[in-house]
Amino acid sequence: MKVKNRMSESPKTVGLDSSVTEAFSLMKENSIRRLPVVDKGKVVGIVTITDLNQATPSMATTLSIHELNYLLAKTKIRDVMPKRQKLVTIGPENYVETAARLMREYKVSGLPVIDDDEKLVGIITETDIFDAFIDILGVTRPHTRIDFYTSDRPGTIAGITGMIAEKGKNIVNTVVFFDKKKNKYKMVIRIEELDCQDVVEALKDRGHEVESVIITHPE
């Protein structure tokens, strides 16, 4: 799944000389928490609701509402945008897992999406990533999840999926990863059917260590 399939297109933006008041209004009106900052047609940074809140005087201020609003209207985005901010972007043709890795690596919650012409075409956020992985894992519909340990041999996965197909069952998705604690490969299979005892017994007969079987009924 690519970034272009999950990003929000034509994102709202602010300029360096936009006011904090304008940014607050854009975020509130569009229920968003971050805004790309554009200067001369190019993205130069990103400002978040946290950045704006930090620019707002504390509740202990002696300023009147009129004075506070005047101050925020005069404060520019260039004044509140984090100094020496490292702008991390991604292209629309990149995969969502690359976006997730970049967010984790740079500890950011959103990435401006820039095309080959350096044009801002979207923004992808941590919420978009969560939604994508939920869809990829197929956890929004009833299914049986089987967790088991398997050997690292060529043809192992093909043999398992072939066995499940022979039993007339449909696989929603399959995930394989290395469990460092047990020093074994763990396989997670989600099957569309809810009665999968025959599959579980077949896995055991083949020497696989079945860890758990969970039947899920999402509401």
Neighbours of 144 (CB within 10 A): 21
Whole-number Å distance between alpha carbons of 216 and 144: 6
Does residue 114 contact residue 120 with C-beta atoms inside 8 Å? Answer: yes
For the domain with range 141-216, which CATH number is right: 3.30.310.40, 3.30.70.260, 3.30.365.10, 3.40.1350.10? 3.30.70.260
Q: Which residues contact 166 (CB under 8 A, 6 or more apart)?
A: none
What is 3-134's CATH topology?
CBS-domain (3.10.580)
Does residue 90 contact residue 124 with C-beta atoms inside 8 Å? Answer: yes
Residue with tokens 């398997």: 150
The confidence score (pLDDT) of residue 69 equals: 67
Greater pLDDT, 161 or 218: 161
The pLDDT of 192-204, averaged and rounded, is: 95
- pLDDT tens for each residue of 81-115: 888 888 999 999 999 999 999 999 999 999 999 99
Identity of the residue numbered 35:
L
The confidence score (pLDDT) of residue 59 equals: 42
User: Rounded to two decimals, what is the model's pTM?
Assistant: 0.75
The confidence score (pLDDT) of residue 84 equals: 81
Does residue 16 contact residue 77 with C-beta atoms inside 8 Å? Answer: yes
The pLDDT of 10-24, averaged and rounded, is: 92
Q: If we measure between CA atoms, which residue out of 74, 4, 16 comes closest to residue 40?
A: 16
Structural domain boundaries in the chain: 3-134, 141-216
* Percentage of the chain modeled with pLDDT above 70: 92
The confidence score (pLDDT) of residue 132 equals: 92
